[in-house]
Structure formats: structure tokens, C-alpha cells
Structure 1
Amino acid sequence: MLKDFRQVRLQDIADVSEVVTPKIVSEQITLASPAEKVMTDFNRVMPITASKNMQVDHALQLMKTQHVRLLLATNDQGEFVGIITAREILGRNVMAYMKSNDIPREDVLIKHVMIAKSRLKALTMEQARQVKIGDVMETLKGSGEQHVLVVDNATSTKKICGIVSASDISRQLKVGFDVLYEAKSFADIEQIVTHGRTI
């Protein structure tokens, strides 16, 4: 296949001294920004899915290569059936399933330890446009979860259209999520986000 391509002659850059920056600076993301601003939008980014019949360690490897900690589980028809996170695979769930069913680890599949969609809650797309990033932070903190799915229910068929994750919030605000959690008040959080100071 590579015989169809050729090496490109690269240019010397010893005389280059400037870096291009955007002419339009993207808006500053704060805790008061709409949650939609930190949502991974599946209309723009391909969601990472895995068959519910995938072996759990293969799922973990897929997470590592895709730099995610959550996969959307699908059935044989490609329909959404639940989620699997690194926490389910690396925590006690896999060991507990192995023990209770007397099977080796290689026989544990996503469907055995995933969180079924019947147990999940999500934001609607309308909520994602209205609620603040700080609201989602409080929600994640209260639930102990690292992700919240977003559902588009504006059409006759409801669809998972995005996801908001603690890591995305942390990256957008440029502050560790654990640091944000240590804040005693909204004012403390604003100070951390705005000035990068610790409490």
C-alpha cells in the first residue's frame, strides 16, 4: 500500500519566529457557561461503542487506545443497551462476577458487568443548553459518577446525542476536578478557575 505514496520534501524553518493564533478568540468557558459547551457532541464526534459481547479486557484496551473511560454498549442490532466504564472493569465487579459464576476472567463480557440503560439517568439536550457547567459538576459530585449522557428527545425516536464528562470539564476549565471538589463555595471555585489559585 505504501508504494502508492512518496516522501514529501520538508522546508527549513530557521527563519520562522511567529506562531499563528486565532483571530477570533473562543469564548471563555466558566462554571456559569451552559453545559452544552463542554459536551462531546455525537453529531460532530463519533461515539466510541462496543458490542455487549466484547470481553472486558478487550474493552479496557479499546478505552486506552481511544483515550476514553466509558464505552457505549450495543446489542447485535447496533442498538444502545448500556455503558461500561473503566471503573466497572478495574473494580470489584469483574472479580465478583467471576466468583459467583465460577468462570475465568477471559469469559467475562461487557454485558456481565455493564450498567444497563434501565439504570441510567441522562440530561436532555434542552437541559444541556440551559443548565450551567457548575450544575453538572454538582450533579456528578452528588452521584459519584464521572459522566452524564445527553439525550435528544426532540424527535419521535430518542437518541443518545452526547456526553459530558468530569475530565472534559476539568480540561476546559484548566483545573483538576478534584481541586474543584475541594472548594467550599461557588466563590472559591470561581477564584480557582479565574486565577488558577488553590484554596
Structure 2
Amino acid sequence: MRSVLQIRPLAPNQRMLQDCVSKKGFNMIRQHYQALEHINASATETITVSDPSRPLKLTADSPAFDAMTDLRRVHPVSISGSETLEQARTTMIVCGVKLLFVRNEQGHLQGLLTANDLAGERAIKEASSSNRNVPELTVNDVMVKLPDLEFLEFGAVSRAEVGHIIATLREHNRQHALVVDNRSGKMRVVGLFSSTQIARQMGIPVMDPVKASTFAEIEAAVAAA
């Protein structure tokens, strides 16, 4: 009697792998992709799991990426330039942020608004010259506009340490720095550095709102390390 070879159906995860491997022009096994090496843990080894709510402890020698808010994974809070400063303040409080991305109707970046801008020198001057109260001003009136923004290049940040970021913020007297990836030929904001966040991750108490002494406190902590 002729025997019949029975083939067990592929499990869903096996079928998915097979589909990936057999796609036209892409064979992971036969091309240059190799399986990664793996390691094993002993039964008595203590292993912790990363907790995004507890940021990494930083030193000046830490990789810069350890201090960067990765906007590819964390959705930035945005606002329209036509909103009032009072509306912007409410958004910051509700979302627990100190910085808002100002975007147009197409979603393109137009500028930044920080908590310090809400009652800063620019807002006071604009209110005085336009005979309005500060809360009535619009985001467009006081935001840092796109041509005035300074960006850090993703490749440079990937090679930098936290100390480089501190020095950069200090030199340009900025509380924040944006990181852009332009490898595709178009600038895309992918990260954000905050002096406040860096200070917290270095274990430095930060007053609210952020004052000029923040950098001095950070540098003192670096010197003492």
C-alpha cells in the first residue's frame, strides 16, 4: 500500500516567518542576514526590566541618547499658532509638559513654545505694543519661529555624550535642543533634549520654573562626579 506523508500545518508564527522569507527578492537566510547570538541567564541571576517611568541615571559620560526624549516613540504635544497663551498654558498643565510644538494645518513644524515664553520678555513687549493682556496673545506672537530654531544632527548626537549636550545648551543659552534626522533628504525631528530632564536624571533638584542656575547646578554636579 502506498504510504501517505502527512504534513502538519504551520503554526501562525511559523507561517508568518515563511511568508517573510519567501517574498520575492528577499530571502533572509540566503542573503546576508544572519541570526543574532543569544545569551542565557542562570536560575539565580537577578534581572530587572526597563521602566520608562524611571529615567536612566545620568553622568556626563553617559551616551547622549540616554538623555534624549525619543520622539519616534513618544508623541510630542502640539498646538496651533492661533491658540492663545492662556490656552497654551492649559495644554501644558493638562499634558504635564513645558514645551509645545507649534504646527500648521499640514502638520509641519512652525516653531516652539516653552513655559518660559508664556510670561517672558517677548510676551510682555508684545502685549504692551499691541495693547493686549499677555494671556490674550496668540502662540504665533511669542513662539520661537522656525528660522530661529537650532537643531542637532542625529549622527552627531549618536556619537556624543551627555556632557556634550550640556555644553551645547549652555553655549547657546537654551533650555531645549531638537534633534533632526535628515538622512532621507528631508529634515524630521526625532528627539528632544531638556536641561530640566538632564538635571533630574543627574539627581539635581530643579526649581520650577527653570532658572538660569540650572546650568550652574548641572556643571557643579559634573565637576563633583
Of 28, 36, 45, which residue of structure 1 is paired with 2:74? 45
Count how many residue pairs are aligned between Structure 1 and Structure 2.
169
Matches within 5 A, 1:1-199: 23-24=47-48, 29-176=58-205, 178=213, 181-182=216-217, 189=222, 191-192=224-225
Q: Name the amino acid aligned to 1:51.
A: S
- Give, in angstroms, the shift of residue 184 of structure 1: 6.9
Q: CA RMSD in A?
A: 2.3
- Give, in angstroms, the shift of residue 190 of structure 1: 5.2
Q: Is the helix fraction higher in 1 or 2?
A: 1
- Contact persistence 2:59–2:222 (CA under 8 A): no
- Matches of 1:171 and 1:122 in 2, distance apart? 23
- Give, in angstroms, the shift of residue 129 of structure 1: 1.1
**Structure of greater Rg:** 2
- Contact persistence 2:178–2:189 (CA under 8 A): yes
The alignment-based identity, stated in percent, is: 27
Q: Name the amino acid aligned to 2:216.
A: Y
Q: 1:183 to 1:145 in 2, by over 3 A?
A: closer
Partner of 2:41: none
- Secondary structure in structure 2 of the residue aligned to 1:149: strand
- Matches of 2:118 and 2:76 in 1, distance apart? 20
| TM-score normalised according to structure 1 size | 0.75
- Matches of 2:141 and 2:217 in 1, distance apart? 35
Structure 2 unaligned segments of length 5 or more: list them: 1-45, 51-55, 207-212
Q: Name the amino acid aligned to 2:143.
A: M
- Matches of 1:106 and 1:29 in 2, distance apart? 37
Q: 1:182 to 1:37 in 2, by over 3 A?
A: closer
Structure 1 unaligned segments of length 5 or more: list them: 1-21, 193-199
